[in-house]
Amino acid sequence: MKTITVHASQTYPIWIENGILSQCGELLREQVKAETAAVITDDTVDQLYGKQVTDSLEQSGFRVVKFVFPHGEASKCSKTLNAIYDFLCENAITRTDCLVALGGGVVGDITGFAAATFLRGLPYLQIPTTLLAQVDSSVGGKTAIDLPGGKNLVGAFKQPVAVLCDPDTLRTLPSETLADGMGEVIKYGMIRDEKLFALLEQYNLETIHEVIGTVIANCIDIKRQVVEHDEFDTGERMILNFGHTLAHAIESYYHYETYTHGSAVAAGMCMMAEKTCAPEIYKRLCDCVTAYQLPTTVLAPMGELVPLCGKDKKRASRDLRYIVCEEIGNAQIRSMPFAEFSAWMGGTTA
C-alpha cells in the first residue's frame, strides 16, 4: 500500500491501493476511537460500494449509520446539509464519532463541511470514488456547499483524519466522468511535473487504467506539496488554478450545462497556452487533451468569455491574477489590471 503523509494543520495519511475499500474499517480503526461511523454518500455510489464499506466498518467494531442523498451538484446545498445535521442528531452522533464521506467531490465537500461545523467539529474520513475527488477535492481540506448566488460560497478549511483512495472504484465511472478528472490530472503535469505529463502522453482515456495508481499518487503528491506551503490559499495554492480563469468563464457562459468542470479546464489551459507558450508546447498540450477526449477550445467568442473572467466572487483586488505555464512542469502566477487582461486576451476592454 502506498501512503502519502500530509503535514498541514493536522498530519494525516492518504492511502492508495487497488482493492483497499474492503479494508476501510481496520484502517479507520487505527485513526479514531469512534463508536459510530456515520457514512454519508449519494444514491449511485451507495448502490455500487455502500455494502462493502458498511461490512468492513462493522467488522472492525463500528456501529454504522448511513445517510444517502440524490447524486449530482444540485444536492450540494443547504437543504441537504440540514438533512445531514438532522440525521446526525437523530442518531446521537457525538464529537468522538466519525463521519465517512463515500463518493465524489459533492459528497466529500458537503460531508467535510458537516464535519467542520456539527458540534463545532468532529473527525471525518474521505473515501473519494471519482478521479477528480481522488486527485483534487479530497486532498487539502477545502469543504463547501453551494448557494443560489454561486458555487462553494459557504465553506470551511477542515482536514480529514485520513483519505482512502481505491483506484479500482474508478472502473465503474462513466467515461465522461473519468475524462473530467483527467482535465485536472493533465493540469498537474503542466504546472509541476514534466515526467507525469510525458507519461500521460503515452496513454489515452481507454488505456490510462494500466497506470492510474501511479498517476493518482503523483497528482496527490503535487497537491500535498502545494497545500503544505499554503494551506489557507493566500499565495502559492493559486497555481492549482491553471486553466481555471477561463474555465470558470466557460462554465458560466454555458450555464454549467455544456461543459463539465474538467473539460472547461482542459479548454482553458489550451486557450491560455496558445497565447503564452511556444507552438510545440501548445501542440503537445492539445494532443494530450485530445487523447483524453477533452476539448482544446470552445465556440464562445473570447469577447464574451473575458468579461466573465472578472466575475469570481473570491477575487481579492481589481487586478486579475492568472496562471501561465510557458514550459511544461513550470507554472507562474501573473497579475494584470482587468482592462489590460481583457485587451491582451482579445476581449473588449472593460
Ligand X SMILES: NC(=O)c1ccc[n+]([C@@H]2O[C@H](COP(=O)([O-])OP(=O)(O)OC[C@H]3O[C@@H](n4cnc5c(N)ncnc54)[C@H](O)[C@@H]3O)[C@@H](O)[C@H]2O)c1
For ligand X, the binding residues (CB under 6 A) are 42, 44-45, 48, 71-73, 76, 103-107, 109, 129-130, 132-133, 136-137, 140, 142, 151-152, 169, 172-173, 177, 180
Residue 105: CB minimum distance to ligand X, A: 2
Residue 254: CB minimum distance to ligand X, A: 16
Residue 342: CB minimum distance to ligand X, A: 26
Nearer to ligand X, 174 or 279 (CB): 174
Residue 34: CB minimum distance to ligand X, A: 23
Cα 306 to Cα 304: distance, rounded to the nearest angstrom: 6
Nearer to ligand X, 66 or 142 (CB): 142
Nearer to ligand X, 80 or 169 (CB): 169
Residue 8: CB minimum distance to ligand X, A: 13
- Report whether 137 contacts 112 (CB < 8 A): no
Nearer to ligand X, 269 or 277 (CB): 269
Nearer to ligand X, 109 or 231 (CB): 109
Residue 20: CB minimum distance to ligand X, A: 14
Nearer to ligand X, 150 or 303 (CB): 150
